[in-house]
Amino acid sequence: MIESQRHSYHLVDPSPWPISGSLGALATTVGGVMYMHPFQGGATLLSLGLIFLLYTMFVWWRDVIRESTLEGHHTKVVQLGPRYGSIPFIVSEVMFLFALFRASSHSSLAPAVEIGGIWPPKGIGVLDPREIPFLNTPILPSSGAAVTWAHHAILAGKEKRAVYALVATVSLALVSTGFQGMEYYQAPSTISDSIYGSTFSLATGFHGFHVIIGTLFSIICGIRQYLGHLTKEHHVGFEAAAWYWHFVDVVRLFPFVSIYWWGGI
């Protein structure tokens, strides 16, 4: 940090990444619309937009990590921003998944006459909640215990234990994702099978997508911990990942009860 600076706030240097991210988002949106309608060149523009977005994400986060670890710009005051920003983000994700579970509950608790007044609708096959869904449910809370272990290890200054705990977290997350893949492979219904298939696929699929995002988040934290980026005084990135992961593992209980168990009895 510059010694002449008399405050604790980080004045960010000019960066090209906001405008490049905006252009990538624009290309992705336009390309997606063109691809779905289908206009010539839509798939190409969509692919280029996604590549541009992914590249911008990589280099922008690389710069943020560099500013926080090597340049020392992320003081305790600056760290408050990412912490406070993570909270409404996670709350918004909770509301999003709650809306999907609410859609399933709306149809299952009071089945409409259009679907025969029963749930699941007649002729729709369902998964047995006592098989893969039940086996998969305790895995994510177990990974939440592992990420808590990693957090305590970081606070205690035990770097190797934190890495081991994050490896355990990622391993359990990959097992959970694998079980969900098996579940989809064996599922007797698809997203196009009545309101049951639509709500089941959307709710469980988006939760599975959040598991994948949280897994990538944990992998990055594990790599940064291995490289010595995270310390007991400075580990905001890990805290955000841990909060996100606890949101993911707790939410897993809701689809099991409201979708798998209620829809399979």
**pLDDT, tens digit, 9 for 90 and up, residues 204-233:** 999 999 999 999 999 999 999 998 888 888
Q: Does domain 76-262 have CATH number 1.20.120.80?
A: yes
CA distance 31 to 43: 6
What one-character DSSP code corresponds to residue 2?
-
Contact 173, 221 (CB under 8 A): no
Question: For position 47, what pLDDT does the model report?
Answer: 95
What one-character DSSP code corresponds to residue 13?
P
Contact 38, 53 (CB under 8 A): no
For the structural domain made of 1-74, what CATH number should be given? 1.10.287.70
Contact 150, 166 (CB under 8 A): yes
Alpha helices (H) in 156-193, listed in sequence order: 159-186
Residue boundaries of the structural domains of the chain? 1-74, 76-262
pLDDT tens-digit series, residues 107-152: 888 888 888 888 888 888 888 888 888 888 899 889 999 999 999 9
pLDDT tens-digit series, residues 2-29: 455 676 777 778 889 999 999 999 999 9
Q: How confident is the model at residue 262 (pLDDT cuts 50, 70, 90)?
A: confident
Look at residue 178 and tell me whether its pLDDT is greater than 90. Answer: yes
CA distance from start to end of the chain: 61
Question: For position 1, what pLDDT does the model report?
Answer: 46
Q: Which helix (H) or strand (E) holds 204?
A: helix 194-226
CA distance 256 to 181: 16
Higher pLDDT, 190 or 150: 150
Alpha carbon dihedral 48, 215, 95, 28, in 10-degree steps, equals 0
Among positive and negative, which fits the CA dihedral 90, 93, 33, 201?
Answer: positive
Contact 213, 103 (CB under 8 A): no
Q: How confident is the model at residue 164 (pLDDT cuts 50, 70, 90)?
A: very high
pTM of the predicted structure, to 2 decimals? 0.84
